[in-house]
Chain A
Amino acid sequence: METYMLEVQDLRTKYVTRFRENVYAVDGVSLKIKEGKSIGIAGESGCGKSTLALSLMGYYFPPLHYISGDIIIDGKNISKLKPDTIRKRILGKEIAYIPQAAMNALNPTQKIIRFIEDVIHAHHPDATKKDIYDIACERFEILGLPRSVLEKHAVELSGGMKQRTVIAISTILSPKVLIADEPSSALDVTSQKMVIKMLRELMEKEYIKVMIFITHELPLLYNVTDDILVMYAGQIVESGTAKQMVFDPLHPYSKGLMGSIIVPEEGVRDHQLTAIPGTPPSLKNPPKGCRFAPRCPYAAPVCSSMEVPDIELPNGRHYRCLMSERKIREV
Chain B
Amino acid sequence: MSELGASCLSGRGVTKVFGIGKTVTVAVDHVDFDFREGQIISIVGESGSGKTTFSKMLLGLISMTEGEISFQGKPRVLKTCAQKRKYWKDIQAIFQDPFASYNSFRKVDSVLLDCINMRDGKALPQKKKEEMMTEACSFVNLKYEELTNKYPFELSGGQMQRLMIARIFLLKPKILLADEPTSMVDACSRATILDMLLKLRSEVNMTIIFITHDIGLAYYVSDQVYIMEHGKFVERGNAENVILHPQAEYTKRLISDVPKIYGNWDLTTV
Contacts and interface: CB of A to CB of B under 8 A. Distances in A.
Of the listed residues A196, A220, A269, the one surrounded by the most CB atoms of chain B closer than 10 A to its CB is A269
A218 B46 contact: no
Given A197-B270, A223-B259, A275-B195, A44 B216 contact: no
A164 to B, nearest CB: 11
Interface string B155-189: 01111000000000000000000000000011111
A109 interface: no
B16 to A, nearest CB: 21
Interface in B24-74: 46-47
A268 B216 contact: yes
B186 A45 contact: yes
A243 B244 CA distance: 24
A190 B186 contact: no
B215 interface: yes
A141 interface: no
A279 interface: yes
A276 interface: yes
A190 B217 contact: no
B43 to A, nearest CB: 15
A189 to B, nearest CB: 4
A266 to B, nearest CB: 6
A90 B200 CA distance: 53
A190 B257 contact: yes
A265 B262 contact: yes
Contacts of B111: none
Contacts of B258: 189, 219, 263-264
A188 B262 contact: no
Contact of A261 (B46, B186, B187, B255): B187
A267 interface: yes
Contacts of B153: none
B187 A188 contact: no
A216 interface: yes
B233 interface: no
Interface in A261-314: 261-269, 273-277, 279
Interface in B211-226: 213-220
A222 interface: yes
Contacts of A275: 188-189, 191-192, 195
Interface in B229-257: 239-240, 243-244, 253-255, 257
B62 to A, nearest CB: 23
A261 to B, nearest CB: 7
A264 B255 contact: yes
Given A194-B270, A219-B259, A188 B46 contact: yes
Given A189-B254, A269-B220, A263 B260 contact: yes
Given A190-B253, A220-B259, A222-B259, 17 more contacts: A45-B186, A188-B46, A189-B215, A192-B257, A194-B270, A197-B270, A200-B267, A223-B261, A257-B187, A257-B188, A260-B188, A260-B191, A262-B216, A262-B219, A263-B261, A263-B262, A267-B262
20 contacts: A44-B189, A189-B46, A189-B213, A189-B215, A189-B254, A190-B253, A193-B270, A197-B270, A219-B216, A222-B259, A262-B190, A262-B216, A263-B258, A264-B219, A264-B258, A265-B260, A265-B263, A269-B240, A275-B191, A277-B141
Interface of B: 46-47, 141, 156-159, 185-192, 194-195, 213-220, 239-240, 243-244, 253-255, 257-263, 265, 267, 270
